[in-house]
Amino acid sequence: MEKRSDPSAETQASELTYAGYLRLEALLACQTPLSETHDEMLFIVIHQASELWMKLCLHELTAARTAIAEDRLDTAFKMMARVARVQQQLIGSWEILATITPADYSAMRGKLGSSSGFQSHQYRAMEFLMGNKNAAMVRVFADAPPLQAMLQDALEQPSIYDEALRALARAGLPVPEEQLTRDVTKPYEASPGVEACWREIYASPERYWNLYELAEKLVDLEYRFQLWRFGHLKTVERVIGFKRGTGGTAGVPYLARVIDQVFFPELLTVRAVL
């Protein structure tokens, strides 16, 4: 029997416009400056665009984690490579934001209240997905139950590195059992046994080519995440100096401490023993 298409669906598709598909009317109505400062529009657009890029990163990294768990590493590589390109956009956004002068920022800062990038639930979800677990960050969203529930779920899920180590074990490498069965809600701690596994992979890339490429894709993610953090630090330093942040953080000193946090420690330390 011939399958008939739905005429109403075809009509709707033919009437779909660029603005309608992207919901531009609603999207472009989201930029509402609270001050008369000219640069506040830039400040809003940069942060909103960054949140959209982070949404895409979460979409890709979550799918990549699933692909790694299913040993579909080639699929995961495509997604991780895309995230690396998105991270370049995030890094580049700091150069645009840095065109705001201290005087311009001071003129609008009073309107920002206690709002801060520290309160970005998507940033926290990205950190959890990468492995920087911190239950205290979930409690920050106690006044927003849906966001808190989303972050609690992210806290309880294995990180992309947890799944990578499980992939190594399935490939026959001697990943320590305690690393495979650890409490994934806790911060990851470096393991000499895991470093030894990565060392074997780097010593024989032809034998472990997919795992070797997985290692380098993870290093790419960490490298660009750290550049993003550093760009944030230098932009804040340039615009507000050593003043306290709007969210009550210590500002530049807080951001400097964050840079020291590492996601995949053995992939860095193994380079010293190759």
> What is the reported pLDDT for 11?
53
Distances (CA, A) of 39 to 103, 104, 137: 10, 7, 30
What is residue 7's predicted lDDT score, i.e. its pLDDT? Answer: 55
- pLDDT at residue 10, as a whole number: 58
pLDDT of residue 5: 57
Q: Please report which residue ranges of the chain form alpha helices under DSSP H.
A: 7-15, 18-22, 24-27, 40-69, 73-97, 102-109, 121-130, 135-139, 145-156, 160-170, 177-180, 192-203, 209-240, 252-259, 265-269
Task: Answer yes or no: is 237 within a domain.
Answer: yes
**109 labeled part of a ligand binding site:** yes
Residues 184 and 159: beta-carbon distance below 8 Å: yes
The reply, when asked if residue 160 is annotated as ligand binding, is no
Domain contains 101: yes
Q: Does a structural domain hold residue 8?
A: no
75 is in an annotated binding site: no
Q: Domain holding 134: CATH number?
A: 1.20.58.480
Is 46 annotated to bind ligand? yes
**Any domain includes 26:** no
Among candidates 197, 167, 163, 193, which has minimal Cα distance to 178?
193
105 annotated as a binding-site residue:
yes
CA distance linking residue 104 with residue 110, whole number of Å: 12
Q: For residue 218, is it within any domain?
A: yes
Q: What is the pLDDT of residue 274?
A: 86
The reply to whether 2 falls in a domain is no
d(Cα 45, Cα 228) in Å, to the nearest integer? Answer: 17
Report if residue 134 sits inside a domain. Answer: yes
Instruction: Decide if 86 is inside a domain.
Output: yes
Q: What is the pLDDT along the chain (274 residues), one digit of tens a residue?
A: 455 556 555 556 678 999 999 999 999 999 999 999 999 999 999 999 999 999 999 999 999 999 999 999 999 999 999 999 999 999 999 999 999 999 999 999 888 887 877 789 999 999 999 999 999 999 999 999 999 999 999 999 999 999 999 999 999 999 999 999 999 999 999 999 999 999 999 999 999 999 999 999 999 999 999 999 999 888 888 887 766 555 555 567 777 777 778 999 999 999 999 8
Q: State yes or no: 62 annotated in a binding site.
A: no
Question: Coil, helix or strand for 205?
Answer: coil
Q: Say which DSSP state 219 is in.
A: H
Residue 82 assigned ligand-binding role: no
Provide the domain limits for residue 250.
37-105+116-162+179-273
CB 233 within 8 A of CB 158: no
Domain total in the chain = 1
pLDDT given at position 70? 98
